[in-house]
């Protein structure tokens, strides 16, 4: 890794680097430790139900009561793929559904993300760029009032973070000209979240142009090797489905999958309905430190461009630097994926936008420190002032975020309240209350009980995520007014005796 300095004094540079390294390491450690005792979120619990069914041999299916469920052994409506669910199901089978072991399994993907970011930006410009890029992750919210739906939660069983980790690993391998292995990572990424086909296509197309210009190998050889890697896991999974379902069942599955995907886009005449929600969700992902870093990065880039103006080496350096091409391709691809979600997706949650915002934080910090450590930048007073501002802003942000995460107990409280409700159901009921779409998958997972499918149910279970979606506040106690007799009440989940109903009370 290239050894470059941010500050002119060797001693100051070494001390500043060690301080930032300790801050980043502390943030990573505390974030990961906090993940191990975090409560279950609705979508995560739904996916854990799929993992449970896989582990028990019941098929690649959901819990059987949520909307759009099918009787086929491969459900077409599970949008998070086998790259995530198969490791989680193996962990479930080995450790009998232990949540701690599952959290450790998901943290492996976070480790892949950290490794890929470190190596990619180290190849670009050395140790400062590596450290800053990893530290950039801390600029994205990690404690949010909306049950962490739109925040960095590396231990959670969702597909976006693993897909981003595999995308960046594919980019790293591509910069090393490991074209088959890069394609294999892209194939596994697509089996995590299919929406990542957009940045995958951008990455492949960009490197095709790179090979046209540089001719490390024929661009067609690059495509062949890369596509073989991409196709291997995709074809393997489709063959498994074909053998399991049979020819007729596989055709039915493809038709159902096509119908499901066809219903995900927003009709153009309804675009205005989703615009405000998507904009609000995106703004919640941003932070003042992140915007500060972006502004400083733009200023440093402008200054560096002026300092290098007239250099005949500029074009050759940019053309030959594979890592620079990868970073540019990732930026363009993830931006296009964000725009697709913003203007075309019916999903209200901003979680699909999280990978793009994470990459914005990573790339802004990495590129800014890469520019700041160039010789010409360190000899320019304006660039030095910008670099010092950048360092202080990043360090303060990371330390502040670390303290915030360390002091936050909402995750462990959330899990304790969910377990208390699950324990009561285990002792007093034979099933978990359901109410239409709201099947309470968190309680299904923690109690191990089946869903109560009775048409009339006198015990109701209300969750914070339901209150957030229906009443605009993440507090299950918002439903207390519907209860006749309280059994257990908390911010996360409320159990109570209620009037028997045959359908959702708040639809």
Q: Dig out the tokens for 449 from the structure.
A: 């009980």
- At 91-124, the pLDDT tens digits run 999 999 999 999 999 999 999 999 999 999 999 8
SS3 501: strand
Residue 370 CA from chain centroid, whole number = 25
Quick check: 147 pLDDT over 80?
no
Residue 315's pLDDT band (boundaries 50, 70, 90)? very low
Give pLDDT, residue 500.
66
Query: How much of the chain, in percent, has pLDDT values that exceed 90?
Result: 49
Mean pLDDT of the chain: 86
Give pLDDT, residue 73.
81
Lowest mean pLDDT segment, chosen from 20-34, 193-207, 369-383: 369-383
The helix (H) or strand (E) run that includes residue 46 is helix 42-55
User: What average pLDDT does the segment 266-294 reach?
Assistant: 82
Select from 23, 14, 34, 122 the least CA-distant residue to 362. 122
Q: Dig out the tokens for 472 from the structure.
A: 């605009």
Residue 364's pLDDT band (boundaries 50, 70, 90)? very high
119: left (phi over 0), alpha (psi -120 to 50) or beta: alpha
Q: Dig out the tokens for 115 from the structure.
A: 């490794």
Residue 378's pLDDT band (boundaries 50, 70, 90)? low
Give pLDDT, residue 319.
47
Q: What distances in angstroms separate CA 315 from CA 308, 320, 371, one per listed residue?
A: 11, 9, 16
Q: What distances in angstroms separate CA 497 from CA 77, 226, 424, 452, one per listed residue?
A: 33, 58, 13, 15
Whole-angstrom Cα distance, residue 374 to residue 369? 9
Lowest mean pLDDT segment, chosen from 217-221, 266-270, 461-465, 484-488: 266-270
Residue 191's pLDDT band (boundaries 50, 70, 90)? very high
Give pLDDT, residue 379.
66
Backbone angles phi, psi at 505, to 5 degrees: -85, -10
Who wins on pLDDT, 90 or 311?
A: 90
Quick check: 3 pLDDT over 70?
no
Whole-angstrom Cα distance, residue 257 to residue 261? 6
Say how many C-beta atoms besides its own lie within 10 A of residue 105's C-beta: 21
Who wins on pLDDT, 340 or 312?
A: 340
Question: For the purposes of burial, counting CB atoms within 10 Å of the CB of 315, is it exposed (0-12), middle (13-18) or buried (19 or more)?
Answer: exposed
Are residues 53 and 428 in contact, defined by beta-carbon separation less than 8 angstroms?
Answer: no
SS3 129: helix
- At 413-468, the pLDDT tens digits run 999 999 999 999 999 988 899 877 778 899 999 999 988 877 777 888 999 888 88
Whole-angstrom Cα distance, residue 225 to residue 487? 61
Residue 178 is classified by DSSP as -
Whole-angstrom Cα distance, residue 441 to residue 66? 9
Select from 433, 403, 437, 405 the least CA-distant residue to 506. 437
Residue 303's pLDDT band (boundaries 50, 70, 90)? confident
Who wins on pLDDT, 240 or 1?
A: 240
Whole-angstrom Cα distance, residue 260 to residue 291? 37
Give pLDDT, residue 452.
84
- At 155-182, the pLDDT tens digits run 899 899 999 999 999 999 999 999 999 9
Residue 142 is classified by DSSP as S
Whole-angstrom Cα distance, residue 271 to residue 184? 36
Give pLDDT, residue 6.
66
Lowest mean pLDDT segment, chosen from 27-41, 267-281, 363-377: 267-281
Quick check: 210 pLDDT over 70?
yes
Query: How much of the chain, in percent, has pLDDT values that exceed 70?
Result: 89
Quick check: 133 pLDDT over 90?
yes
Who wins on pLDDT, 345 or 331?
A: 331
The strand pair at 483-488 and 493-501 is best described as antiparallel
Quick check: 377 pLDDT over 80?
no
Buried b / exposed e over 320-347, threshold 16 CB at 10 Å, is ebbbbbbbbbbbbbbbebbeebbeebeb
Ranges of each domain in the chain: 10-35+79-407, 414-501
């Amino acid at each position: 890794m290239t050894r470059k300095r941010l500050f002119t004094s060797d001693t100051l540079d070494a001390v500043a680097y060690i301080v930032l390294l300790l801050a980043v390491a502390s943030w990573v450690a505390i974030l990961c430790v906090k993940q191990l005792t975090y409560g279950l979120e609705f979508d995560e619990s739904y996916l854990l139900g799929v993992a449970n069914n896989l582990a028990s041999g019941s098929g690649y299916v959901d819990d059987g009561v949520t909307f759009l469920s099918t009787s086929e052994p491969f459900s077409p409506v599970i949008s998070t793929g086998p790259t995530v669910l198969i490791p989680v199901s193996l962990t479930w089978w080995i450790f009998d559904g232990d949540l701690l072991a599952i959290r450790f399994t998901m943290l492996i993907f976070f480790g892949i993300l950290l490794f890929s970011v470190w190596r990619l930006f180290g190849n670009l410009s050395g140790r400062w760029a590596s450290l800053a890029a990893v530290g950039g992750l801390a600029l994205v919210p990690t404690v949010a009032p909306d049950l962490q739906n739109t925040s960095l939660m590396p231990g959670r069983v969702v597909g976006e973070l693993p897909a981003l980790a595999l995308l960046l690993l594919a980019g790293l391998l591509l910069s090393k000209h490991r074209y088959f292995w890069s394609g294999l990572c892209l194939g596994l990424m697509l089996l995590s979240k299919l929406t990542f086909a957009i940045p995958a296509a951008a990455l492949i197309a960009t490197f095709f142009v790179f090979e046209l210009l540089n001719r490390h190998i024929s661009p067609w050889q690059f495509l062949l090797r890369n596509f073989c890697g991409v196709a291997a896991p995709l074809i393997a999974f489709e063959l498994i489905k074909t053998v399991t379902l049979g020819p007729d069942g596989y055709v039915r599955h493809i038709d159902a999958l096509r119908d499901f995907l066809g219903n995900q886009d927003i009709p153009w005449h309804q675009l205005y309905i989703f615009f405000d929600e998507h904009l609000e969700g995106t703004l919640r992902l941003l932070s003042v430190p992140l915007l500060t870093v972006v502004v400083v990065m733009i200023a440093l880039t402008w200054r560096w461009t002026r300092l290098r103006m007239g250099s005949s080496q500029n074009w050759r350096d940019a053309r030959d630097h594979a890592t620079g091409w990868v970073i540019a391709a990732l930026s363009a691809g993830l931006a296009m994926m964000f725009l697709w979600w913003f203007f075309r997706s019916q999903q209200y949650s901003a979680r699909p936008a999280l990978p793009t915002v994470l990459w914005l934080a990573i790339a802004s910090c990495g590129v800014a420190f890469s520019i700041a450590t160039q010789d010409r930048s360190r000899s320019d007073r304006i660039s030095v002032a910008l670099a010092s501002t950048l360092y202080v802003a990043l360090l303060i942000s990371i330390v502040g975020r670390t303290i915030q995460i360390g002091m936050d107990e909402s995750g462990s409280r959330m899990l304790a309240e969910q377990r208390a409700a699950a324990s009561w159901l285990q002792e007093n009921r034979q099933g978990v209350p359901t109410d239409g779409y709201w099947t309470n998958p968190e309680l299904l997972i923690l109690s191990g009980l089946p869903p109560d499918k009775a048409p009339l149910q006198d015990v109701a279970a209300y969750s914070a995520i339901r209150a957030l979606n229906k009443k605009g506040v993440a507090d299950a106690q918002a439903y207390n007014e519907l209860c006749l007799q309280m059994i257990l009440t908390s911010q996360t989940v409320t159990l109570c005796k209620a009037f028997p109903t045959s359908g959702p009370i708040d639809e």
